[in-house]
Amino acid sequence: MKIAVFSARPYDRRSLDACNQQGYAADGFEFIYFDATLDAHTAALAQDCDAVCVFVNDRLDAPVLQALHALGVRAVVLRCAGFNNVDLAAAEQLGFFVARVPAYSPEAVAEHTLALIMTLNRQTHRAYNRVREGNFMLDGLLGRTLHGKTVGIVGTGKIGLATARILHGMGCTVLGHDPYPSPEFDALGSTVPLDELLARSDIVSLHCPLTTQTQHMIDEASLARMKPGAMLVNTSRGGLVDTDAVIRALKSHHLGHLAIDVYEQESALFFQDRSGEIIDDDVFQRLMTFPNVLVTGHQGFFTAEALQEIAETTLGNLVHFAAGSECPNRVTKA
């Protein structure tokens, strides 16, 4: 079976090839790697392939799915948990097998969330540069003791829960908001309405999926409900946050800190080296001017353990597709 792997970086090739060599399928799979992101222009690269293997910024809207179907592609295997980039109605209508990696080291993303919170709170990113330049002044590096502070976790699923466990261990009061409250979370903190979470939290961390209901859940109105000087952290999906509203809240000093690993327009920037180019996204560039904003380029998942889990689950999903057997990771519209 031939699989066109889009948005393939060297680490994707290494982990998929290593897993393939371990004999997941009797004859192994034939992976054809493309650096390109999947979209209407690049879909033709999947000529002669049975499946496409894609990541967060590959675009699988109806026209792309139709183009893939016309080429004979019948399966979409996602190397990620989120599937907001797939038009599931169109995929289902065309009879595509769509499967994802529902969980890969939720702790990896939770630990990165903590790295962002700790860095921004104690300004270690600025301290690093200062000390290297021989500047040992502390002015401007003042942080807050996190022990005893209140952290609001929006989405208490696998990653939210893992984040809550760490923060609880640090002595924080943990609040959660989720339409499906979990008993595991309730053992660590209290589930409260979103407005109460926003009003009480010193740090708000987003861990819910991007859907039509959650898009721009952090907007002008919800930012106004947050405590003055609070920190907003988003390691989930960029579309959860209205970035223009966030910039206004930063400019008015109402929002104290912003840490993001995801950005609504990230597909034009992330996972690429744009260091020698003019970046024409003025909203992103405005964010870069704030000393109290920290951005990483969607690296929450990026640990050796998570890459191995992604490769193993992806090959497992392909085995199910090849055998026509029931796949636990299949994504359907219902």
Closer residue to ligand NAI in complex, CB, 29/301: 301
3-state helix/strand/coil string of 69-119: HHHCCCEEEECCCCCCCECHHHHHHCCCEEECCCCCCHHHHHHHHHHHHHH
Q: Single out the residue of 78, 86, 117, 159 in contact with ligand NAI (rule: CB under 6 A).
A: 159
* Near ligand NAI in 223-242, by CB under 6 A: 235-237
Contact status, residue 210 vs residue 226, Cβ threshold 8 Å: no
| 301 touches ligand NAI by CB under 6 A | yes
Cα-based torsion angle of the residue sequence 32, 37, 43, 45 in order, rounded to the nearest 10 degrees: -30
Provide, rounded to whole angstroms, the least separation between the CB of residue 135 and ligand NAI: 32
Q: Nearest-CA neighbor of 142 among 121, 128, 118?
A: 121
Closer residue to ligand NAI in complex, CB, 154/223: 154
Is 266 marked active-site?
yes
Is 111 marked active-site?
no
Contacts with ligand NAI by CB under 6 A: the residue count is 29
User: Of residues 200, 237, 264, 312, which has the active-site annotation?
Assistant: 237
* Near ligand NAI in 76-105, by CB under 6 A: 81-82, 103
Distance CA 243, CA 219 (A): 8
Task: Give the tokens for residue 65.
Answer: 């799915």
Length of the chain: 334
Q: How many CB atoms lie within 10 A of CB 320?
A: 18
Q: Single out the residue of 95, 137, 180, 282 in contact with ligand NAI (rule: CB under 6 A).
A: 180
Question: Which residues form the interface with ligand NAI (CB under 6 A)?
Answer: 81-82, 103, 106, 109, 154-160, 177-180, 207-209, 213-214, 235-237, 261-262, 298, 300-301
- Positions marked active-site: 237, 266
